[in-house]
Amino acid sequence: MPPTETSPLLENGNGNDELPLSFLQRVVKVSKAEGEPSWLDSYKYFFFGSWFNVLLVFVPLSIISHNLEWDAVLRFSFSFLAIVPLAKLLGEATDQLSVKLGQTLSGLLNASFGNAVEIIVGIAALLQDQLVIVQTSMLGSILSNILLVLGCSFLAGGLKFPEGNFQVQGAQASASLMTLACITLVIPAAYASTTAAGIKEQAECLVGDGRCPTTGLLFISRGTAILLFLTYVAYLIFQLKTHKEYFITIEDGDEEPVAEMSTVAAGSSLLLVTVITSFCADYLVASIEETADRYNIPKPFIGLILLPIVANAAEHVTSVWMAMKGKMELTIGICVGSSIQIATFVIPLLVVIGWITGHPLTLQFANFETIVLSASVLLVTLLIMDGKSNYMEGLMLIVLYLVIAIACEC
């Protein structure tokens, strides 16, 4: 055959001139998962690989209780318990997809899909006009990651190793970006409570929760959301391309992870669990109002404490496990990286979605939430700037989180 654009410049010498595969042939080849676990073995591992998956029985109970309009407490409890194993399965599928990736991409992938539950719950609450739940759950996700999950990881790693080490440059970059995100989330509240225009707008507002979507706040929030989007894109380029050496630690004798699922099976499982989680999250949000009113549970406690603990279940397990293996780079990447992603991507995404769908979500947090976020970011920044960790630092983070939980209960 005459040479074409795809013909090699030099012959390979074996006389085997193979034609390039068509798109359909490549799809079939990937679907067969040659050299990888079979579809049956992959799904068997995914659904039966852990006794924790027995909690999946609450998924059909959540669907049934919602459609039959059972008591609100039952609907809330079933949906709450259903999201726990679903969050773990999201983490498991993500972990299997990241087997062939390096530490940096693995941590980024875990943080990205680990936040899938937060995004789903946030969108469900936003479309149901539960703006307070959206704000508190997003803030609670940040606090859960940088205080509870990181604290437990430091504590678990510190009990096994005298000291944990991670890249100072990467930790400083992450801490600085987290501080920037905190400042940008504080500015709308400062505008509303200190500037003359903000005070006047709040005085004219008839909304009683102090989070009135005035014209000025909407403009600031939406402009800030766009800038945070751009900052997150720049951070990805910084982390994955231009300065990736800041986030990688080369360790001798590191065990190679074993793939228990094929790539296509892991991807399809991830998609399936994400869809199921979206339904359970919608049912959970729909039952919050009645449950909170009936049992006098403060909404800030539900948003700041309960929902983030469930949503971060997969990240919690993965981060602690990596810390006990001495892989602190992955621990920092999952915990701090996840918080950065929520602050610079997920929250701005929800603001933009609210903008498009006509739900006026702003970045104005209550004074208590603003102070809590600032204090938490300050403590985490001080602890990780030296590139070292120990069990005492983990204990400090956990104590601060428990104090916040007690305050939210009152």
Q: pLDDT value at position 154?
A: 92
Residue 13 inside a domain? The answer is no
Query: Mean pLDDT score of the chain, rounded to an integer?
Result: 79
pLDDT at 78 over 50: yes
Can you name the residues that pair with 165 across neighbouring β-strands?
A: 388
pLDDT at 398 over 90: yes
Q: pLDDT value at position 171?
A: 80
Can you name the residues that pair with 164 across neighbouring β-strands?
A: 389
User: Residue 325 — pLDDT band, cuts 50, 70, 90?
Assistant: confident
pLDDT at 206 over 60: no
86: which residues sit within 8 A by CB, 6+ positions away? 56, 59, 117, 273, 276, 277, 280
Spatial separation of the C-alpha atoms in residues 84 and 54, rounded to whole Å: 11
Residue 23 inside a domain? The answer is no
Spatial separation of the C-alpha atoms in residues 227 and 222, rounded to whole Å: 9
Q: pLDDT value at position 108?
A: 62
The string of pLDDT tens digits covering residues 230-244 is 998 888 888 777 877
pLDDT at 181 over 90: no
306 vs 10: which has the higher pLDDT: 306
Q: pLDDT value at position 109?
A: 65
Residue 66 inside a domain? The answer is yes
Q: Residue 69's domain spans which residues? A: 39-247+259-409
- Percent with pLDDT over 70 in the chain: 78
Backbone angles phi, psi at 97, to 5 degrees: -70, -30
Residue 27 inside a domain? The answer is no
Angle, helices 131-143/347-357, rounded to nearest 10 degrees: 170
Q: pLDDT value at position 210?
A: 44
Task: Quote the number of domains for the chain.
Answer: 1
Where residue 164 sits, what CATH number does that domain have? 1.20.1420.30
Residue 33 inside a domain? The answer is no
Whole-number Cα distances in Å, 317 to 88, 130, 198, 305, 341: 8, 29, 43, 17, 19
Q: pLDDT value at position 238?
A: 85
- Listed residue (52, 85, 121, 396) closest to 284, CA to CA: 121
Mean pLDDT over 263-290 rounds to 81
Spatial separation of the C-alpha atoms in residues 322 and 324, rounded to whole Å: 5
Highest mean pLDDT, choosing among 14-18, 160-164, 191-195, 329-333: 160-164
Q: pLDDT value at position 223?
A: 92
Residue 311 inside a domain? The answer is yes
Which range, of 5-9, 84-88, 158-162, averages the lowest pLDDT?
5-9
Whole-number Cα distances in Å, 216 to 93, 100, 136, 190: 42, 47, 21, 12
Q: Where are the alpha helices (DSSP H) in 342-366?
A: 347-357
Q: pLDDT value at position 207?
A: 46
Residue 268 inside a domain? The answer is yes
The answer to whether 151 and 395 have CB atoms below 8 angstroms apart is yes
The string of pLDDT tens digits covering residues 350-384 is 999 999 988 888 888 878 888 888 899 999 988 88
Residue 165 inside a domain? The answer is yes
The answer to whether 244 and 236 have CB atoms below 8 angstroms apart is no
The answer to whether 131 and 350 have CB atoms below 8 angstroms apart is no
pLDDT at 395 over 80: yes
Q: pLDDT value at position 208?
A: 43
Q: pLDDT value at position 203?
A: 59
Mean pLDDT over 211-230 rounds to 83
Highest mean pLDDT, choosing among 119-123, 294-298, 375-379, 381-385: 375-379
Spatial separation of the C-alpha atoms in residues 211 and 189, rounded to whole Å: 9
75 vs 110: which has the higher pLDDT: 75
Mean pLDDT over 2-12 rounds to 58
